[in-house]
Amino acid sequence: MTPNTETIHEGTADRLARRPWPATPIRPGINVSFEFFPPATEPGFETLDSCVEQLEPLDPGFVSVTYGAGGTTQDRTLKTLRRLAANTDLKIAGHLTCVGATAAEVDRVIDSYLALGVRRIVALRGDAPSGFDGGTAAGGHGSATEVVAAIRSRADASAENIDIAVAAYPEVHPKAQSAQSDLDNLKAKFDAGADRAITQYFFDTDAFLRFLDAARKAGITGEIIPGIMPVTNFERVRSFSERCGTVVPDWMSELFGGLDDMPEVQHLVAATVAAEQCRRLAEHGVTSFHFYTMNRPELSVATCRILGVKPQSVRSVDVRSTTGQASAANAG
């Protein structure tokens, strides 16, 4: 039988138009940011230093450092922020939770951040760690909305200049009464003065896109940055996802199943999953990405590269080594 070449060519053209590949930089104007946790040991700090060394050249919009609810990592968070402020030119955000803390304690943490020159805060309620009763301390803030309002209402002029990010949940916070109440809560945080939201990590990209639509329909106009979790250890991510309400789709279990003893293969698969997710989000117009690095740079660096985000020095090498045609394209 003679193949119908016209049909084949049309189909190929459609497919090529849908998904350009191999990976060319997606588009100009992609912004990335990175989250770190405060190390518990000196070797942990050295690992973080090396991670930061590899991520700083990517020129992130900001980096953030988590804070153990109940103040459990307060000293380590401050130590990490101090180290980043002293050793890098990065814009730094400190996370801040209110659960189990009085308003005065929260204020003292804000003061410490400002004293270090940290003018970005990720304002959170937090989850009480085991051993804490999980409730609001007497005279404490009961929700992230109250923390945002407290930062904005500080008497000092600096309150105006603090950039506040809050948490958002594309797959709904596990303790929220409903998806609607969770969205109302996010709106309340923006109304109280938040500048942007960073989402819980998710693997169902469509869930994020639907959530973004719902947020816009609800009148939320502020930036909502997707949180991207490159999977360094699938079993750990699966167990954590159960607690934080992130759905791990069956296709991920199939992809990662049987790789427990092959961490390097897991990483290769994880890099592909994260890159696919970011490419799909970018195809829908998303331009900012927040990476949960777990203090490991490789998967974030790889994913950023596929998004077209690479160190300035590499960019200038590329420009020098390209032909006049490429230079003209850059100038355009």
Residue 97 or 266 having the CB closest to ligand FAD: 97
Residue 175 or 217 having the CB closest to ligand FAD: 175
CA distance 262 to 270: 12
By CB under 6 A, which span of 1-9, 43-51, 124-132, 317-325 interacts with ligand FAD?
Answer: 124-132
Q: What pairs with residue 33 in β-bridges?
A: 62, 290
Does position 38 interact with ligand FAD (CB under 6 A)? The reply is no
Does position 310 interact with ligand FAD (CB under 6 A)? The reply is no
Residue 67 or 234 having the CB closest to ligand FAD: 67
Residue 240 or 305 having the CB closest to ligand FAD: 240
Enumerate the active-site residues: 35
Residue pair 29/287 in contact (Cβ under 8 Å)? The answer is yes
Q: List the x/- string, 184-203, binding to ligand FAD by CB under 6 A.
A: -x---x--------x-x---
Peptide bond into 57 cis (omega under 30): no
| Among 150, 139, 143, CA closest to 126 | 143
Q: Which residue has the tokens 């180290």?
A: 83
Instruction: Please report, as residue ranges, which positions from 129 to 168 form the binding site for ligand FAD (by CB under 6 A).
Output: 143-144, 167
Does position 223 interact with ligand FAD (CB under 6 A)? The reply is no
| Among 162, 182, 164, CA closest to 172 | 182
Residue pair 165/236 in contact (Cβ under 8 Å)? The answer is no
Size of the site for ligand FAD (CB under 6 A): 24
Residue pair 203/252 in contact (Cβ under 8 Å)? The answer is yes
By CB under 6 A, which span of 81-89, 171-179, 202-210, 298-306 interacts with ligand FAD?
Answer: 171-179
Residue 200 or 300 having the CB closest to ligand FAD: 200
Instruction: Please report, as residue ranges, which positions from 64 to 83 form the binding site for ligand FAD (by CB under 6 A).
Output: 66-69
Report the nearest approach of ligand FAD to the CB of residue 127 (Å). 4
Contacting residue, 12, 87, 153, 181, with ligand FAD by CB under 6 A: 181
Contacting residue, 120, 173, 267, 310, with ligand FAD by CB under 6 A: 173
| Among 88, 90, 73, CA closest to 32 | 90
CA distance 134 to 141: 13
- In 3-state terms, what secondary structure has residue 57? helix
> Residue 279 CB: number of other CB atoms within 10 A?
18
Residue pair 47/80 in contact (Cβ under 8 Å)? The answer is no
Residue 93 CB partners (closer than 8 Å, separation 6+): 62, 63, 64, 65, 118, 120, 121, 122, 163, 165
Contacting residue, 122, 237, 248, 294, with ligand FAD by CB under 6 A: 122
Contacting residue, 125, 196, 267, 279, with ligand FAD by CB under 6 A: 125
Does position 246 interact with ligand FAD (CB under 6 A)? The reply is no
Contact residues for ligand FAD, defined by CB under 6 A: 66-69, 95, 97, 122, 124-127, 143-144, 167, 173, 175-176, 181-182, 185, 189, 198, 200, 227
